[in-house]
Structure 1
Amino acid sequence: MNLDRETDPEPRDAYEVFRTLGTRWMDNDAYGHVNNVVYYSWFDTVVNHYLIEQGVLDIQHGDTIGLVVQTHCNYFSPIAFPQTVRAGLRVAHLGRSSVRYEIGLFADDEATTAAKGHFIHVYVDRHTRRPVPLPGPLKAVLEKLI
């Protein structure tokens, strides 16, 4: 792992697709900025919205589901209500049954990430919770984000 890449802000062109997210009044904490737990919620929202939009995640009836097994975030500058967040998404690693998603969060129209992080999904059978190979359509969608 390249630690410089992990700990330094990145530009917008480091990400493949973007989603716009709003901050909410309740997201701010006592210190006047968005609380760290909200960032992880944004990560999950960006990834799952993209997968649903691409038609490769059926949250109600799909046989395969992604379980988060690792997550991480580095913070560079604060985000606060009422700012708009632009979330960039890419795939850093595509395994047999796992994916490392990387997400960059940009405050308003800032050129570099206010925060960035990753999480790893292991894809499992919905009923047995045992790892399964990535379904072909899912893998094809994710390969576009590498």
Structure 2
Amino acid sequence: MTAPERYPRAAYKCFRALPTRWADNDIYGHINNAAYYGFFDTAVNSFLIEQAELDIQAGEVIGLVVETGCAYFAPLAYPQIVEAGIRVTRIGTSSVRYEVGLFAEGEDQPSAQGHFIHVYVDRQTRRPTPLPAGMRSALETLHA
């Protein structure tokens, strides 16, 4: 298996500062691998709520995660601030592939980078539905 390509800070279109929490550390003194997925979710969903008209309470469209992955390069630990870089590498009719780099504050190379794919569905039927125009427009600003 070949190591994944590591994308520097400049490869990402938008950043979110995320404080680590005491509970994120594991017994080995670094952020537990499961917490990284929470960072990915928080970074992307805050963008979607603030910039892409996602209404998590009452919107007709919701995103379901259908695939995830993460590569780890260097440890992060509480009390660091994690800077999450976001980019979009594919926008389909009803799906989006996000890539997120997690950087130690001020660093140019990510400590970890991951991806996940949302399929957007109708809240009631849970069937795929086209991305709303406002959401598509906001996501296009992140397209790499």
Could you tell me which residue of structure 1 aligns to residue 41 of structure 2?
A: 44
Aligned length: 143
**Structure 2 residue corresponding to 1:66, chosen from 63, 67, 80:** 63
- Deviations along 1:71-107, one digit per CA (max 9) or x if unpaired, are 0000000000111100000000001100000000001
Q: TM-score, normalised by structure 1?
A: 0.94
Matched, 1:75 2:72: yes
Could you tell me which residue of structure 2 aligns to residue 127 of structure 1?
A: 124
Could you tell me which residue of structure 2 aligns to residue 87 of structure 1?
A: 84
Matched, 1:25 2:29: no
CA RMSD of aligned residues (A): 1.3
Where do 5+ consecutive residues of structure 2 fail to align?
A: none
CA distance in 2, matches of 1:25, 1:9: 27
Instruction: Check the 8 A contact 2:63/2:118 in 1, yes or no.
Output: yes
CA distance in 1, matches of 2:102, 2:5: 13
Q: Residues 55, 8 of structure 1: CA spacing in aligned structure 2 closer, same or farther, 3 A cutoff?
A: closer
Q: TM-score, normalised by structure 2?
A: 0.96
CA distance in 2, matches of 1:113, 1:50: 20
Q: Percent identity?
A: 59
Instruction: Check the 8 A contact 1:72/1:118 in 2, yes or no.
Output: yes
Where do 5+ consecutive residues of structure 1 fail to align?
A: none
Deviation of 1:55 after TM superposition, in Å, equals 4.6
Instruction: Check the 8 A contact 1:9/1:114 in 2, yes or no.
Output: no
Deviation of 1:37 after TM superposition, in Å, equals 0.7
Could you tell me which residue of structure 1 aligns to residue 8 of structure 2?
A: 11
Runs of 4+ with >3 A deviation: none
